[in-house]
Structures are given as C-alpha cells and as structure tokens.
Amino acid sequence: MSDGALSQDEIDALLAGVDSSGSGGAAAAAPEPSGGSEEDRRALQDFFAGTVGSLSSNLSTMTGADVSIRGPQVEFSNRDAFLRQLPDMVTAVKADFNSGFPGEHSFIISEDTAKSIASLMNKEENIQLDEMAMSVIGEVVSQMVGTQITALTQKTGNKSIASMSPEAANVPKAVAAMPGGAFIAAAYQLNLGDGSNRQIWEILGSSVSADIARALKGPAAAPPPSPAAMPSFGGAAIPSGGALPGMGGGPLSGMGGMNIPPMGQPTNVQSIQFPSLIPQLTTQEQGNISLLMDVYMEMTVELGRTRKLIKEILGMGEGTIIELDKLAGEPVDILVNHKLIAKGEVVVIDENFGVRVTEIVSPMERMNDLS
C-alpha cells in the first residue's frame, strides 16, 4: 500500500505536464509549434552559422583543446516537443538579453557534456558538477554570448545589446526554465577534440527571436524612382547627365549663377578625423575612483591545493604530511577576494613570511583559472 509520497519520476512527470499514472489513456499530443515565419528562421540560422568559427576559436583558447562547433539546425519548437530531445539531466544556463533585443535566452547542455567542458577548463578528470563547475560553465556561455553580441552589433548596428550574467544549474530536464509557447531552438554539434559529437541547444523566446530576425533582415529596399517622379524642367524630364535639352550638355545653372554639377560627376570627398579611442579618465571619474581607495580587500597567498577523501581527512593527525599540487620552487598564487591576480615567490621579512610579486596574471589567464 502506498504511503502517499510521490516518486521522483512522478514529480518530474507532473512538472513536465505528462500523465505518468498509466491510466486515463495516452497523454495529450503536444501542440504543433508556431509563432514565426520561415523567413525569420532562415535569417537566424544564417546568422548563427556565421558565428560558429569564432565560437570554436574562443572555446579552443579557453579549454586548450581543438574544439569545433558545427551547425546549427534552427527550428521552431515548444516545451513538450523540445523536452523529448533531451536527456534526463541537463545543465541549464539562463542568459536573458536585457537591452537591445530584450527577451528570454538560454542554453541547454547535457550533463555529460557539461562535465567534459568543466574537466577541460579545470584540467581535472572525473569532475563533479558542483558550484565551482557551474561557474566555469557560466563563463563559457558568457564568452559564447559575447561573441554573438559582437556579431549581432556589427550586422544590425544596434550598439545597446547586452545580456545578463549567465546562471548555470544542473537540474532534471522537467524543471529547466524555458519560454512559454513557441520558441526558437538552435542545435549545435560540439566536438571537444576527442572525436565525439555532442549537442548544445540555444533557445530564444518568440519575441526576442522575432526582433533579432527583423533587424537582421534590415529595412525593405526602396523601389527605383519611376519616370514620373524624375525632376523636370518646363515639363521635360532631366536626363541622368544633368543637362537640359538644348543647353549644350553643360551643367545646370541654378539661382544666383550657382552651377549644379552633372549627375554622376565625382565630388570632393574628405576623410573624417575620428578622435582617439584610448580611454582617458575625466576629473570626475578620477574623483569617483578616489572614493574607493580606502576600501579594504582580502588578499591571500595560496601555497597549493589538494583533494582528499572524507575518510582521509578524518584520519589526519599530528605529523600527517599533506602533499600539494605545487612543485618546490614553483610560484605561489596571489588572490584578491579569491580571484587570482598575480604570482610570486615566498620571502622572509624579519621573522614574517612575505611574497615578492613576479608576474601579473593576464585577463585571459584569469578566465582560464576561474577554478
């Protein structure tokens, strides 16, 4: 006799809106996805396909592997139809656009693929999808979205496009957040350099996908002027040369003796002098920064790390030697608020330990060392 508690399968089925009781007939068929035109779908597919080269290059740099991305295959879908394509556990990364083309935007990654990406980033095998791994996945998606925003800005001229900071979570597929109604689903083929093809899905809500597609297609081209719309002089149309009939083919003479050059004649074009793009702090900005100069921040020098089983930790006692992942003489890590900013060597000042900075970590290295 049942105690009234629901199993995990029943909970997942209820969240997905599926009848798992086995009675009452077959589940209702999912409605056919709609809400966009075929022209919109093609415009989005062409745009996404044009970014896969940059995405592959960026992921290769971040992971140190020969990463390639192909596709994507873009189609209209809805929650019920899309869930049938997914494994039971997925890593859902929400990265909504909050300006430019505001709307719902997310990535869905299978649990195994998320582990493979996090392992490459952290240079660690058999990784668990904990909070640290989720931050790594979020950073990967942030780089992908940044690449897309750059390309979208170049194609549409919209310079206000921005996305919220990605939030990753490993959840059952039934609880992954997705847009309501129909939406765009783009399926990419991902190869992490091991020869195995994996899928990553990108999802756009119906409103944001329609706005982006409209911007990509651009304004409708204006029709060529008809003969009736051509300028005339005394009822006679002015030909493309700009000369009036019977005027000797010379340029038109305007009011006050001003000469109007014939159409098609080269004009004097001067290049525009752009200001320097090197940012300069204004007096006000410098004053604002000075307000933060007396704020304390935690600085830590890390000698090394290691991982131990709980039974090994409980078995520690006085005299236990813990081997770290650093070699003797290797630079130690200098962290500010737990973020790696520099490396250095340990020194002794009077009777205290100190550290001499030998290297400032570049932004790319900071990104790769998120762990």
| Alpha-helix residue ranges (DSSP H) falling in the chain | 8-15, 38-63, 79-83, 111-122, 131-156, 206-217, 283-290, 310-314, 363-368
Q: Is residue 224 part of a domain?
A: no
Specify whether 99 is located in the same domain as 195.
yes
Q: Is residue 31 part of a domain?
A: no
Domains in the chain, number:
2
Specify whether 44 is located in the same domain as 175.
yes
Q: Is residue 344 part of a domain?
A: yes
Instruction: List the one residue out of 52, 78, 54, 56 whose CA is nearest residue 67.
Output: 56
Confidence of residue 28 (pLDDT cuts 50, 70, 90): very low
Specify whether 53 is located in the same domain as 150.
yes
Cβ–Cβ < 8 Å for 16, 83: yes
Q: Is residue 283 part of a domain?
A: no
Q: Is residue 89 part of a domain?
A: yes
Average pLDDT, stretch 136-151? 90
Specify whether 76 is located in the same domain as 199.
yes
Specify whether 180 is located in the same domain as 47.
yes
Average pLDDT, stretch 99-115? 92
Final residue of a domain: which of 190, 217, 244?
Answer: 217
Final residue of a domain: which of 193, 217, 241?
Answer: 217
Query: pLDDT digits over 213-272, tens only?
Result: 999 987 654 455 555 545 554 555 555 554 444 444 455 444 444 555 555 556 666 666
Largest CA distance in the chain: 111
Specify whether 57 is located in the same domain as 168.
yes
User: What pLDDT, on a 0 to 100 scale, did the predictor assign at position 109?
Assistant: 93
Average pLDDT, stretch 200-209? 92
Q: Is residue 286 part of a domain?
A: no
Domain enclosing residue 361, as ranges: 298-306+328-371
Average pLDDT, stretch 64-90? 90
Specify whether 55 is located in the same domain as 203.
yes
Q: Is residue 236 part of a domain?
A: no
Residue 160: give its domain's CATH number.
Answer: 3.40.1550.10
Residues 6+ apart with CB under 8 A from 50: 151
Confidence of residue 194 (pLDDT cuts 50, 70, 90): confident
Residue 336: give its domain's CATH number.
Answer: 2.30.330.10
Final residue of a domain: which of 195, 217, 239?
Answer: 217
